[in-house]
């Protein structure tokens, strides 16, 4: 059982890729901590118009807030901290924060866009330098070090939010598949969808009846109305090179 600083999964970076990865690992009951320092770069966007599901676009900062809330609701713990060092020790990982704290985890997902300083000394991690730095992985985010993954733009994924979010999800599921969690899909299906056809409920799946489906839909509508009731209070972040008046 994990202690306060010991987790099954440590995700470094709380942008769309890290948050998406956490939604999946936490839903599979892997004790997940997302550590982020600074603003995800999506906060600089002015209006997000290519993220599927929002025909007229969506406020980018609202979407990030909603992703962070969903990660917490799925069971992730989130902390503001900068990871400055990571070491594999006896099949686990020990991470040091800038403030001098220590975190340990069985699996680590780096989702830090172009920041590689905390992984570049590790034997088995290949850094790609193209002016910006990236981490080489297989197509599910696995690095050359068992238990260490990278997700999102850090792995040279195309630079679109939906792509890095989807990649984070794929890496999160790779962690689940590589762990000893029994997993098939994390689907919510109508009552009897599997069991009514004589099949066992696959691990990770849930069947819900009409009453429960309607309750969840009511809750979802209420929650979404709140998010979309008013314009987001924050302005987009300017590029640091643009001087504030």
Ligand X SMILES: Cc1cc2nc3c(=O)[nH]c(=O)nc-3n(C[C@H](O)[C@H](O)[C@H](O)COP(=O)(O)OP(=O)(O)OC[C@H]3O[C@@H](n4cnc5c(N)ncnc54)[C@H](O)[C@@H]3O)c2cc1C
| 78 sits near ligand X (criterion: CB under 6 A) | no
Q: What is the Cα–Cα distance from 194 to 207, expressed in whole angstroms?
A: 8
Closest separation in Å from C-beta 199 to ligand X: 37
Closest separation in Å from C-beta 161 to ligand X: 4
Closest separation in Å from C-beta 165 to ligand X: 8
Site for ligand X in 12-51 (CB under 6 A): 12-18, 35-42, 44-45, 48, 50
Stretch that binds ligand X, among 6-14, 23-31, 129-137, 196-204 (CB under 6 A): 6-14
Please, what is the angle between helix 16-27 and helix 161-178, to 10°? 30
**Closest of 143, 176, 171 to residue 21, by C-alpha:** 171
In this structure, are residues 12 and 95 in contact, taking their beta carbons and an 8 Å threshold?
Answer: yes
**Look-up: residue for tokens 């509508």?**
221
Closest separation in Å from C-beta 183 to ligand X: 23
Closer CB to ligand X, 164 or 176, in the complex? 164
Contacting residue, 54, 132, 159, 201, with ligand X by CB under 6 A: 159
Closer CB to ligand X, 65 or 207, in the complex? 65
Angle made by CA atoms 133, 138, 144, in degrees to the nearest 5: 75
Closest separation in Å from C-beta 143 to ligand X: 16
Q: What is the Cα–Cα distance from 132 to 191, expressed in whole angstroms?
A: 49
| 161 sits near ligand X (criterion: CB under 6 A) | yes
Closer CB to ligand X, 135 or 183, in the complex? 135
Closer CB to ligand X, 15 or 183, in the complex? 15
Angle made by CA atoms 31, 25, 146, in degrees to the nearest 5: 90
Alpha helices in the chain (DSSP H): 16-27, 60-74, 161-178, 210-227
Q: What is the Cα–Cα distance from 191 to 175, expressed in whole angstroms?
A: 29
Q: What is the Cα–Cα distance from 102 to 5, expressed in whole angstroms?
A: 7
- Cβ–Cβ contacts within 10 Å for residue 206, how many? 12
Q: What is the per-residue binding string for ligand X in 92-111, x denoting contact by CB under 6 A?
A: -------------------x
Closest separation in Å from C-beta 38 to ligand X: 3
Q: Which residues bind ligand X (CB under 6 A)?
A: 12-18, 35-42, 44-45, 48, 50, 82-83, 111-113, 115, 118, 152-153, 159-161, 164
């Amino acid at each position: 059982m994990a202690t306060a600083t010991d987790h099954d999964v440590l995700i470094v970076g709380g942008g769309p890729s890290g948050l998406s990865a956490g939604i999946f690992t936490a839903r599979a009951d892997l004790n997940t901590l997302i550590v982020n320092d600074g603003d995800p770069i999506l906060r600089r966007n002015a209006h997000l118009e290519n993220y599927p599901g929002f025909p007229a676009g969506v406020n980018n900062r609202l979407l990030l807030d909603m992703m962070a809330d969903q990660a917490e609701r799925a069971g992730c713990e989130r902390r503001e901290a900068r990871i400055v060092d990571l070491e594999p020790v006896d099949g686990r990982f020990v991470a040091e924060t800038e403030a001098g704290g220590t975190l340990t985890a069985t699996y680590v997902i780096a989702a830090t866009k172009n920041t590689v300083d905390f992984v570049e000394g590790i034997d088995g991690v290949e850094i790609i330098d193209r002016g910006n730095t990236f981490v080489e992985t297989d197509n599910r985010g696995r690095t050359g070090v068992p238990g260490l993954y990278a997700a999102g733009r850090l792995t040279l994924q195309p630079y679109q939010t939906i792509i890095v979010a989807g990649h984070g999800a794929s890496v999160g599921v790779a962690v689940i598949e590589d762990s000893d969690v029994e997993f098939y899909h994390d689907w919510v299906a109508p009552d009897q969808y599997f069991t009514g056809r004589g099949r066992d409920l696959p691990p990770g799946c849930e069947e819900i009846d009409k009453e429960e489906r309607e309750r969840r839909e009511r809750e979802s509508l209420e929650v979404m109305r709140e998010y979309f009731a008013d314009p987001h209070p924050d302005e987009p972040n300017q590029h640091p090179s643009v001087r504030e008046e």
